[in-house]
Structure 1
Amino acid sequence: MVQAVIAKKIEAPAEKVWTLSNWKGCEALMPIPGQMEGVSFEGDGIGARRIFHLDKVRLGGGSIVEELVSIDERRRHYVYRLADNGPLPWTDYEGVIVVTPCGPDACAIKFSVDITPLDISDEECRHIWVTHALMDVARLKEELGVQ
C-alpha cells in the first residue's frame, strides 16, 4: 500500500477554494487538460457517485467512478473512494481533501491517499498520483486567477 500527501498554499480565501474543490465543485474546473475531460454525478450525500471521463490522448479515455464516504462542509473536508478504477494502475483507493484557512485571504489545500498499486512499483504509483494531484492544484489556481 502506498500513502501519499501533498499540501499547497493558495492565495485565495478558503471558502472560494472549497467552492471549487468540494465534492461537486470540481465540475467548474473541467476540463483538466491531460487528465479529465469532464465529470458527471449520480445521487446526493453519502454514497453519491461522480464519474470522471478521462483524457483520451494522455490516459486512453474511459472513466473512473468515485463514491463519497463522508463530508464535513463546516471543516471543508471530505473522504472518497474509487468504486471503479477504470484503466488506472491501482486499487483500494481512498482519498481525502481538506481546505484550511491561512488567514482571511489564503488557505492550504491538502490531498492525501491510501492506494494499492497494480502491476507498477510503489514509487511509480506515488509519482503518477502526485503528478495528477499537482495538475489539480494548477487547474484550481488557474480558475481562481492566482499564482
Structure 2
Amino acid sequence: MHNSVRWTTEEQNSLLYTMRGPWNWEAVNEMLIIGDELMGSVDHPVDVILDIHDVGNMLGPGFLVHSRRIFTSVRPNCSGRLVLMQPDSMLRSVHTLLDRAFSTIFSQIYVQYAETLDHALLLLDMAGDGHISVS
C-alpha cells in the first residue's frame, strides 16, 4: 500500500491524502497524524482532497466508529471543504451512508467529487471564490 499526505500548493491551502491498494485503520491513523501536524503548522483554513483509487472495500470492521472519530476530531482551521477522488460509484455510496449516519457532522462539510487532482483544485478554487459548482 502506498499512502501519502502533502500540500497541493505553495500557499499550503489544501492537503492531498493519497491511498493506494488495500488499506487498514493503522495506515489511516498514520496519515491522519501527518495531516494533523501539517494543518496545525498554518493559521489559515485548509481544504482536504482525498484520493483513494483502488483501495478495495472501504466498509471494513469498525467503519462507522472510526469514521465518526475522524470527522469529529478535525482541526479548527479545517475549512470543511472536502473533495473526494475515486472513479467509481462506491465512494458516493460511502458518502451517502456517512451523511445519513452522521447528518449533524456532515451538514457542516461541503463534499464534492473530482476525477483528477487538477479538477479537485479547480473545484476548491471556485468554492474559495464564492462560486457554486456542480461536480
Identify whether the pair has TM-score above 0.5, normalized to the shorter chain: no
User: TM-score, with normalisation over the residues of structure 2?
Assistant: 0.29
More strand by share: 1
More helix by share: 2
User: TM-score, with normalisation over the residues of structure 1?
Assistant: 0.27
